[in-house]
């Protein structure tokens, strides 16, 4: 691989991620495109994550945080250490498929887009396939699509570093469970981004993952992001519908449906939710 090809920085934020870490790192080393670096940000791990990361060569650059921070802040700290023209992300339990970087670089250059993402495969703890998530290839403003159905898997994302710096859109340091959703939606609000039909990554579902353990906290952070998007303006007429739908789902899942005598109210909310969805889908 010619050094004239752009350097790609693979950001890995880690907090006690030893269980699947070697598999994740190996998936970067197995890339067909080889002009990359790994920025490994250790967010205060107390397990063997550091030993595993440091066992690799100089292409993996290890950094230890002075304190354990929110994931949003940790992602920002790691980005500051990157040297690449493009940045992609890999969590310690996920995998990049061998052609991921090569495919995305071609799309980034061809479409002159600021961000790309693609199809992904959901796997279990042993690496067996659970489900394939196919994404349609397009290069448009997908904000409304993502607002209606957020099917973007962050492990598949690649972004132009110059865009991050010039637009000053970084991760929200207040968020620990869904900074990725917040980050992507603020970019998608006013920028065309490219989705790719190719399968780019494997996303692992397991009992130790944050997304599995902290569903209620993640839901609260998504609601926080939706309110921020609402404050941006009335450009998208469906935004308030989605915000209301989110509030209804929250009440049903974590509050009213758990209390005796509230099931009828939850049922009415469910009907209301589907009515809103129909309006979002068909009313133009």
DSSP structure string for 189-227? TTS-EEEEEEEEEEEE--TTSHHHH-HHHHHHHHHHHHH
231 and 248 in a common domain: yes
189 and 134 in a common domain: yes
What is the Cα–Cα distance from 37 to 181, expressed in whole angstroms? 24
240 and 193 in a common domain: no
What is the Cα–Cα distance from 249 to 271, expressed in whole angstroms? 11
68 and 183 in a common domain: yes
Domain containing residue 35: 8-206
Residue at which a domain ends, from 183, 206, 229:
206
What is the Cα–Cα distance from 155 to 88, expressed in whole angstroms? 8
For residues 88-109, average pLDDT: 96
Residue at which a domain ends, from 206, 236, 257:
206
237 and 187 in a common domain: no
In this predicted structure, the answer to whether residue 109 has a pLDDT above a threshold of 60 is yes
Residue 146 included in any domain:
yes
Name 102's Cβ contacts closer than 8 Å, sequence gap at least 6.
Answer: 31, 32, 33
32 and 83 in a common domain: yes
Least confident of 5-14, 82-91, 253-262: 253-262
What is the Cα–Cα distance from 216 to 253, expressed in whole angstroms? 9
Residue 54 included in any domain:
yes
184 and 103 in a common domain: yes
pTM of the model: 0.82
In this predicted structure, the answer to whether residue 134 has a pLDDT above a threshold of 60 is yes
Highest mean pLDDT out of 84-88, 147-151, 188-192, 202-206: 84-88
In this predicted structure, the answer to whether residue 79 has a pLDDT above a threshold of 70 is yes
176 and 107 in a common domain: yes
Percentage of the chain modeled with pLDDT above 90: 61
CATH at 100: 3.90.550.10
Backbone torsion region of residue 78, taken as left when φ is above 0, otherwise alpha when ψ lies between -120 and 50, otherwise beta: alpha
What is the Cα–Cα distance from 56 to 99, expressed in whole angstroms? 21
Q: Report pLDDT for 284.
A: 35
Count of domains forming the chain = 2
Average pLDDT score over the chain: 84
Residue 119 included in any domain:
yes
Tell me: the pLDDT tens digits for 176-200? 888 999 999 999 988 989 999 999 9
What is the Cα–Cα distance from 271 to 259, expressed in whole angstroms? 19
235 and 123 in a common domain: no
Burial grade of 51 (CB within 10 A; 0-12, 13-18, 19 or more): exposed
Give 133's strand partners: 120
142 and 90 in a common domain: yes
For residues 250-274, average pLDDT: 50
56 and 73 in a common domain: yes
In this predicted structure, the answer to whether residue 135 has a pLDDT above a threshold of 80 is yes
Tell me: the pLDDT tens digits for 8-66? 999 999 999 999 999 999 999 999 999 999 999 999 999 999 999 999 999 999 999 99
48 and 131 in a common domain: yes
Pair 133, 119: CB distance under 8 Å: yes
Of the candidates 147, 267, 124, 272, the one whose C-alpha atom is nearest the C-alpha of residue 208 is 124
Q: Which residue did the predictor score with more confidence, 137 or 231?
A: 137
Residue 278 included in any domain:
yes
For residues 91-119, average pLDDT: 95
**Rg of the chain taking only CA atoms, in angstroms:** 20
């Amino acid at each position: 691989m010619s050094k004239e090809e752009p350097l790609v920085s693979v950001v890995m934020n880690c907090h006690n991620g030893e269980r699947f870490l070697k598999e994740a790192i190996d998936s970067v080393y197995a890339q067909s495109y080889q002009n990359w670096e790994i920025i490994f940000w250790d967010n205060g791990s107390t397990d063997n994550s550091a030993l595993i990361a440091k066992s690799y060569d100089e292409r993996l650059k290890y950094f230890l945080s002075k304190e354990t921070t929110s994931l949003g802040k940790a992602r920002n700290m790691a980005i500051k250490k990157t040297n690449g023209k493009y940045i992609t992300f890999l969590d310690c339990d996920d995998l990049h498929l061998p052609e991921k970087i090569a495919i995305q670089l071609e799309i980034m250059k061809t479409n002159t887009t600021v961000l790309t993402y693609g199809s992904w495969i959901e796997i279990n703890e042993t690496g067996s396939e659970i489900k394939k998530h196919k994404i349609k290839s397009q290069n448009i403003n997908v904000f409304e699509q993502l607002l209606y159905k957020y099917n973007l898997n962050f492990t598949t994302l690649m972004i132009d570093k110059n865009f991050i710096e010039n637009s000053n859109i970084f991760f929200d340091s207040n968020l620990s469970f869904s900074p990725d959703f917040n980050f992507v939606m603020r970019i998608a609000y006013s920028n065309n981004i490219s989705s790719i039909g190719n399968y780019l990554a494997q996303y692992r579902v397991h009992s130790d993952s944050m997304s599995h353990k902290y569903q209620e906290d993640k839901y609260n952070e998504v609601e926080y992001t939706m309110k921020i998007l609402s404050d941006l303006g009335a450009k998208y007429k469906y935004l308030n519908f989605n915000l209301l739908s989110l509030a209804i789902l929250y009440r049903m899942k974590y509050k009213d449906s758990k209390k005796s005598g509230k099931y009828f109210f939850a049922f009415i909310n469910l009907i209301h939710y589907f009515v809103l969805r129909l309006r979002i889908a068909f009313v133009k």
